[in-house]
Amino acid sequence: MRVLAGAVAVVAACGGTTGVSLDAPGPADAMPDAPLATIPADTVPCEAMAYWPDAIRSTAHPILVHYRAADEEAAAREVLADLDRAWDVEVGTLGFRPPVDDTGACGPDGALDVFLWRGHEECYVDVLGEDAATPYDDRQAFLVIDPWGPYGGAHLDTTTAHELDHVFQAADDWSDAPIVYEMTSVFIEDLVFPDDNQYVDQIADFQAHPDWSFDRDDGYETWYMYGAAQYLRFVRDRYFGGDAAFVGAMWRGMRSPADSGEPDFEDALDALLVARGSSFRDSMIAFARWRLYTGAHADAAHDAEGASFAEPARAAAVRTTGAEVAIAPMALGSAYIDVTAQSGDPTAVDVSLAHAASGVQWIVQVVPGHAGDGDTLDLSHGPVHVAIAGTQTIAVTALPTGAIDPEDRDDTTYAASVVIAP
């Protein structure tokens, strides 16, 4: 899997670019290359430049792609072209900060050093040190890519865009919640190379766990943190009219003193959304509805690609004849219950919560709503009467009662029972 190594502790003009070889061809280039020495897996490329004797430099951006032999030059040029295109979008359009100049700590100068490592299979960004000239936690970085590995080939372009975004992230904040690094980079992939839709499979893992905390670090056991890019798509379309440049502003808003983690990405998003008449907390409620408009329930009013996305897992599917469903989401998680009125069944139900744990605010919604994408039910005075047309979904979200901070997140679950009475 794509690996982003380093302090975060997360295992985090198009097409026509040409590079200039740093070593001019000579008679020896016509001779077969000697067998390449095996690179030990724990090698730090910046400390072992001899393994990468050749390089090409971008003519558009401060990028240097290092490779090992003549038969790797074509791959190096392909990677360089993808890097140049991604840079133009990510920095030029979305407002990410260019990489921190490493002043020659890696490679011959301050350009971003990219190493092609055949056989390594994983692609990653690692960091060298902090930029002492700034008060926030920005780091010098380098990038490793294996164009011949499982994330190369047909996916090399999106892999390159993904990893380059980790480099740009390091120029703003290297001490935030792991999920924001991965969901941002996956969100970026589709903006730079929209024809490669491999991220759709990652969204499936995210949708499979709606009861998890939205900002949960699952230790890379699944693609959950990658698939959470679905939320950034929602933010773009719901609050910013389809303009993805908010994501660069989010990263600038995340800048914080080294290892402090404050402000975090949820703080940065909150500041952006308050200016739009909403908040991060409100976005969690709206997103609990939005993510239901996927798969067979996709429509033109929500994500344009929603039909290709998996739907969120359901806690239960019941009839209007009555049921009591036990749920136990984490804070910032949601549970979904489909309620169906079959032929001859009641066409309305009373919805209430029973045995609801304290420590969270329970938000109960019916999707679709009477005149919109969902209705919020006020259960503070008892059961609420809900008309059911065909099948509708009860969405129950557990929100933290205090400030929302990913550093407070753990895997505590909060139990409740959803009572559906005819």
How far is it, in rounded angstroms, from Cα 369 to Cα 385?
Answer: 13
- The predicted pLDDT at position 417 comes to 98
Residues 6+ apart with CB under 8 A from 194: none
d(CA 318, CA 322): 7
What percent of the chain clears pLDDT 70, i.e. is strictly above it?
A: 92
Tens digit of each residue's pLDDT (9 = 90 or more) over 60-108: 999 999 999 999 999 999 999 999 999 999 999 999 999 999 999 999 9
Q: pLDDT value at position 5?
A: 32
**pLDDT-derived band at 21, boundaries 50, 70, 90:** very low
| Confidence label for 34 from pLDDT (cuts 50, 70 and 90) | low
Backbone angles phi, psi at 416, to 5 degrees: -160, 165
Q: How far apart, in whole angstroms, are the C-alpha atoms of residue 240 and residue 252?
A: 17
Which CATH entry fits the domain spanning 314-421: 3.30.465.10, 3.40.50.720, 2.60.120.380, 3.40.47.10? 2.60.120.380
- For residue 14, the model assigns a pLDDT of 28
Strands, sheet with 348-354, edge to edge from the N-terminal-most edge strand = 323-327, 416-421, 348-354, 384-387
Identify the band that residue 24 occupies on the pLDDT scale cut at 50, 70 and 90. very low
Tokens of 47: 């400390």
Mean pLDDT across the stretch 293-299? 97
The residue ranges of every structural domain in the chain are 3-24+37-196, 314-421
Average pLDDT in the chain: 91
Sign for the CA dihedral angle at 401, 406, 411, 417 comes to positive
Q: Are strands 348-354 and 384-387 parallel, antiparallel or unpaired?
A: antiparallel
Q: Is pLDDT of 28 > 60?
A: no
- Looking at residues 290-309, what average pLDDT do you find? 96
